[in-house]
Amino acid sequence: MTQAQFPPSSPHRPYEDALALLVGTALVALGLTIYAQATLLTGSTAGLALLVQYASGLPFAPVFFVLNLPFYVLALMQMGWKFTLRTFCAVLLVSLLASQTGHWIGFSRLDPLYAALIGGTIIGVGLLILFRHRASLGGVNILVLFLQERFGWRAGYVQLAIDAAILLGGLFVVPAEKVALSLSGALAINLVLALNHRPGRYVGVS
């Protein structure tokens, strides 16, 4: 998944942020459920949790939640307590919703390429909503921002390297064609964000 960038302040009321968290995380959970059904991967902590699920059989939701726990200290240091609280809520909601979405919907047929593209697009829209309300799905996003602040490492490059490592790790767990399809899904996610998430241009209107 992509690196989060946020406007300097939120123009939204608390109830708008709460609704956005619910809608954004529901969309991300739906996209991840589609990915899991098609045995695809994505980047960041969510991709690592999917990789652990495929390799070990452990369910995605608790793995995703636990993987994010060490990063909240960095979030407090880097982004403040409001962002950390929103991110904790977002991670918790994605974990809960992802654990249930598979029980609410099912697929008798799911083309892998369609799953990669539509799943990536849905995840991208969900992330877009979260980013615009100053939240994220934590994990690697927080780490790369911390490394940039502390050591001057370019966050985008570090994020790319970590995501590439996750996808390369997928070669040991899923077929190579699934990894290739996952790359097209990553492109869909980033296209949604690149075309729509421009903090300097976005103005929230109530």
Amino acid identity of residue 116, one-letter, is A
pLDDT of residue 81: 85
Percent of the chain with pLDDT over 70: 88
> Region 64-74: what's the mean pLDDT?
88
Provide the H-helix boundaries in 57-175. Answer: 60-68, 72-79, 81-104, 112-132, 140-151, 155-169
Hey, how many other C-beta atoms are within 10 angstroms of the C-beta on 177? 10
pLDDT-based confidence at residue 50 (cuts at 50, 70, 90): very high
Whether pLDDT at 15 is above 80: no
Domain range summary for the chain, segments of one domain joined by +: 14-196
> 117, 135, 131, 136: which is closest to 31 by C-alpha?
117
Global pTM?
0.82
> Region 12-26: what's the mean pLDDT?
87
Pick 130 or 34 by higher pLDDT. Answer: 34
pLDDT in tens, 89-103: 999 999 999 999 989
Q: How many DSSP H helices and E strands does the chain contain?
A: 9, 0
pLDDT in tens, 107-127: 889 999 999 999 999 998 998
pLDDT-based confidence at residue 205 (cuts at 50, 70, 90): very low
pLDDT of residue 206: 33
Q: What is the mean pLDDT of the chain?
A: 84
